[in-house]
Chains A and B, each alone.
Chain A
Amino acid sequence: MRKVYFDHSATTPVDKKVLEAMMPYFSDTYGNATSIHSFGLDAAKGLDIARTQMAKFLNCSETEVIFTSGATESDNLAIKGFIKAIKKQGIKNPHVITSIVEHDAVLEPFMELEAEGVEVDHVKVLPNGVVDVEDFKKKLKDNTVLVSIMHVNSEVGAVMPIREIGKTIKKHNESREREWKKLSVKERGERPQKAYFHVDATQGVNFFKQDVKWNYVDMLSMSGHKIYGPKGVGALYCQKDVPMESLQRGGHQEWNKRSGTINVTGIVGLGAAVEQLDEKTLEKDNKKIAKLRDKLVDGVLEKIPDVVLNTDRENATPAHAHFSFKGCEGEAVLMSLDIEGIAVSTGSACASGSLKASHVLIAMGIKKEIAHNSIRFSLGKHNTEEEIEYLLEKLPPIIEKIRKMNPIYNT
């Protein structure tokens, strides 16, 4: 049967070049990278190469890259490891800001911290899913220690104004420092606490340059498998002055910020994957993917009535196309497409194991009954025009069939 993959936001295939780079590190160069004999040193060489690739990609120093098991771990470390360190410094009432549309890997650590007394604020989004910067500015306070905003929303593909937020935080910190310095030494009291900026860039790395200095970012999470690299590996960029306490204890790897034997094979793969994301390649791939996405969107809107496009193409990645097909439960569409060999995803109800409508769509002001009717297409660099045509042939009769079954559609 024909197989077509339109779920690249879930995961991507490992590139051949990436796999080739990884192969020697399974059975040949298998030493523990922290051993000081030749086996260990050979493995450490691979690790060093990957670290340099990461540092170049992020425009940071090599010592600011912490390798992890993936973006979920990076997010947990960035949030909980940071708050742990801040509390150790004696800060009693930390305030943090995040957005209402973050991934659970960010929302849930914050929920945990909230239960421990940390004050958590959630920034609203505009109807197109983009974080409302004005609302963010209102929420920034003197005791704000951390702001965590995603680069790209995984469901609708909305791109957040990361640089603008980073700049706002920098100005906020600078103005507080200036006020403090104006005071006489006696009046001063403690130096004002800085607010730090964490970005969950997991869904953005594939499409946009991640220059942490240009974007004024202090911490950045990413994973390998979203960028044609392997699963089970990721990284946290952590600027050298950011307070950070490790969450897991053990062998003191990664400057004592992330204990655990170093996953050299995976890390080599991650390095090789970012190596391919140079500006020229990004531009070329983005152009190609955007063309396919537009063909898909235009085709769906033309062939199927009563469809809402939830992706604002002007403010989204080139790969996302998120629709609500009124009167069709998303999962029934997903399963019907799967029978035709086409893989898509739904953020709604049953598929995610919970029965709640997507928190992202609700935050965008979409009604619950419409949110349940949603399907996300996320394209990748290997998709073809022909695959889009195959979808445009199979999808309209599926929607018609499901609508026919619906007792409350068109009645």
Chain B
Amino acid sequence: MEHFRNPRNQGSMDNPDAVGQEGNPTCGDVMKIYLRIKDNRIEDIKFETLGCAAAIAVSSAATELAKGKTLEEALAMNKDDIVNDLGGLPAPKIHCSMLGVDALHSAIKDYQNKKSL
């Protein structure tokens, strides 16, 4: 609830190193994650989310957890980490936590793809 009232890391980012977006407006949820990466570590992270209260709380918790982690550590994060951090989520909302992980992972992959080019 606190993450919904006062979401952390909410907003967009100028010249991010990577961006990941997951979800579909026809399902009601879209999550976009911006990353600034330095020495293989997530230095800064921002999110923008269209979604229900749980989706917003998940975005906030996911960005807070990921901040400061190495890319490998962030890739190892799963939905349970976010759900536990939030102190649990009602069953119908579990898909929201998956969206948070998916958006984070897709942002990291975006970074890795760019680097390997």
Please give the residue numbers on chain A whose beta carbons come within 8 Å of chain B beta carbons, in ascending order: 327-332, 334-336, 339, 348-351, 353-355, 357, 367-369, 372, 405-409
Is A405 a contact partner of B56 (Cβ separation < 8 A)? yes
Is A406 a contact partner of B49 (Cβ separation < 8 A)? yes
A328 to B26, CA, bound (A): 13
> Among residues 34 to 93 in chain B, which have CB atoms less than 8 Å away from a CB atom of chain A?
48-56, 92-93
Is B28 a contact partner of A406 (Cβ separation < 8 A)? no
B31 at the interface (CB under 8 A from A): yes
A298 to B76, CA, bound (A): 51
Inter-chain contacts of B56 with A (CB < 8 A): 332, 405
Is B10 a contact partner of A405 (Cβ separation < 8 A)? yes
Interface pairs (29), CB distance under 8 Å = A328-B50, A329-B50, A329-B51, A330-B52, A331-B52, A332-B51, A332-B52, A332-B53, A332-B56, A334-B53, A348-B28, A350-B28, A350-B92, A355-B95, A357-B28, A368-B25, A368-B27, A369-B26, A369-B28, A372-B25, A372-B28, A405-B49, A407-B12, A407-B21, A407-B31, A407-B32, A407-B48, A407-B49, A408-B32
Partner of B54, one of A327, A350, A354, A372: A350
B108 at the interface (CB under 8 A from A): no
Please give the residue numbers on chain B whose beta carbons come within 8 Å of chain A beta carbons, in ascending order: 4-5, 7, 10, 12, 21, 25-32, 48-56, 92-93, 95
Nearest opposing residue in chain B for A339, CB measure = B5
Is B28 a contact partner of A409 (Cβ separation < 8 A)? no
Inter-chain contacts of B25 with A (CB < 8 A): 368-369, 372, 408
A233 to B10, CA, bound (A): 47
A203 to B28, CA, bound (A): 28
Is A409 a contact partner of B50 (Cβ separation < 8 A)? yes
A129 to B56, CA, bound (A): 32
Is B50 a contact partner of A408 (Cβ separation < 8 A)? yes
Q: Evaluate whether A335 and B53 lie within 8 angstroms (CB atoms) in the complex, with A369-B26, A406-B30 already known.
A: yes
Q: Evaluate whether A368 and B32 lie within 8 angstroms (CB atoms) in the complex, with A331-B53, A405-B50, A407-B49 already known.
A: no
Is A408 a contact partner of B49 (Cβ separation < 8 A)? no
Inter-chain contacts of A368 with B (CB < 8 A): 25-27
Most buried by A among B21, B27, B53, B55: B53
Is B92 a contact partner of A405 (Cβ separation < 8 A)? no
Distance of A348 from chain B, by nearest CB (Å) = 7
Interchain residue pairs A-B with the least CB separation, the first 4: A407-B32, A331-B52, A372-B28, A407-B48
